[in-house]
Structure 1
Amino acid sequence: VALPTHINPVNDFDSHIHHDSYYTNTNQPTLTGISEPHAKIILNINNNTSETMADENGNWELKTVSLKEGNTENNYSIKIIDRAGNISEEVTGQIIFDNTPPELNNVSIHHQDSDNQLVTLSGKTKSNSMIVLSCDDNNDYSTRANNEGEWMLKTYNRKDESYNIKVIDQAGNESEWVIKTPASDTTTIVPEKVEIIDTHNIQNDSMNIIAAEIPPSENGVHSQYSADVGIEHHNELSL
């Protein structure tokens, strides 16, 4: 069984981040996936068990119980039982339910050269959040905060009066900010938060959760099924 190793928080901005836990801003997502046709799918999350049967094409779905609120781990396990009674190895993991938009703190702007052609923006937010800087030339520049929430972006100085920054955390919560350009280098800037009229947050697109390996059946066939889990806009985790 391949344990969870990879998550694409938002539109695959960075496919090199690896996590032991998975994040959602939906408190009761639906798991959907593909397995052996007519196999039984057993999900246990926070000691609550639910079951479903895959259809003739192996498609199945299960709605989870309400997840614990806050930055809390919700422990889950999944196993598959085929029609011959073979049981896959149980795969375990955690889902973190977080629906709080990220803050943006300790923002600073520094000019990197004597001609003021290069500008470095830095700050602090939720750990591993995506930072997207929008410029007047319709180009977006992005980076990811480290485990301590620290981030830094370099761009050309376009003499803009302000910078627009969007912060998207691992669960898909987002916030938007305006940073006014100071007259000279400064160590601290207080960003202005932009009220988002459309409160619909971007949600996780996909995450590789399991490759459920079922033992050989009576006819000796050895089957392996991989599953990709993601949170769609209609509150589903697509496998």
Structure 2
Amino acid sequence: MVMQIVNADAMVVKLNSGEQKTIHLSSIRPPRLEGEVNQDRRKLRPLYDIPYMFEAREFLRKKLIGKKVNVTVDYIRPATPSTNVTPAFPERTCSTVTIGGINIAEALVSKGLATVIRYRQDDDQRSSHYDELLAAEARAIKNAKGLHSKKEVPIHRVADISGDTQKAKQFLPFLQRAGRSEAVVEYVFSGSRLKLYMPKETCLITFLLAGIECPRGSRNTPTGVQEGEPFSEEATQFTKELVLQREVGE
């Protein structure tokens, strides 16, 4: 079962054993920034600032979250150390993921939301459906889909008021007047504390579940790591499995 979409080519799946594992889609490259980046990388929010990353994540989220999928491991990409040009990468399990007979990587590429990695001729560590991926990319280029489009790239101006008390207080009356609102759970801090993305209002807020109190998890303090309360991890995991990256009403 798919528990979380990490980015446009990676997801967390829950195996039949109950173990959770991060896997990457074989032989595809997610959207990325090209050329020089004028924006301060410390302030860069990849999901919203990299063109088509949000669209790719949303395609995967809507299609896969909470669903059972078939995973075929194609190859293991070993860890690589950092260099002057590239950061270090941990070991990656690269797989073909299908649902209802649909190859998810192929679907992403056909919509222009990912590109296909080119390999040396003697490199056989690639997707077991590599030819289909190349054909899907050719169709996307021909039809000018997504990353191959000549149109202006979509822009997502999302205000993050989750850590701004003043802005949150200003926003609260508006939220109360609006009545029921739709949101996507972007992050689970604890069993009762969430970060929500509100598409209509295009903002991120911190949301606390009313009427309950959950055990506090471990946290960093000036004197070191403060140990979490009993059952804090279980409460957080329960809430994650219930609502993470799912659409909710508040």
TM-score range, shorter chain: under 0.3
Higher-RCO chain (CA-CA 8 Å, sequence separation at least 6): 1
Greater helix percent: which structure?
2
For the pair shown, the structure with the greater C-alpha radius of gyration is 1
TM-score (norm 2): 0.22
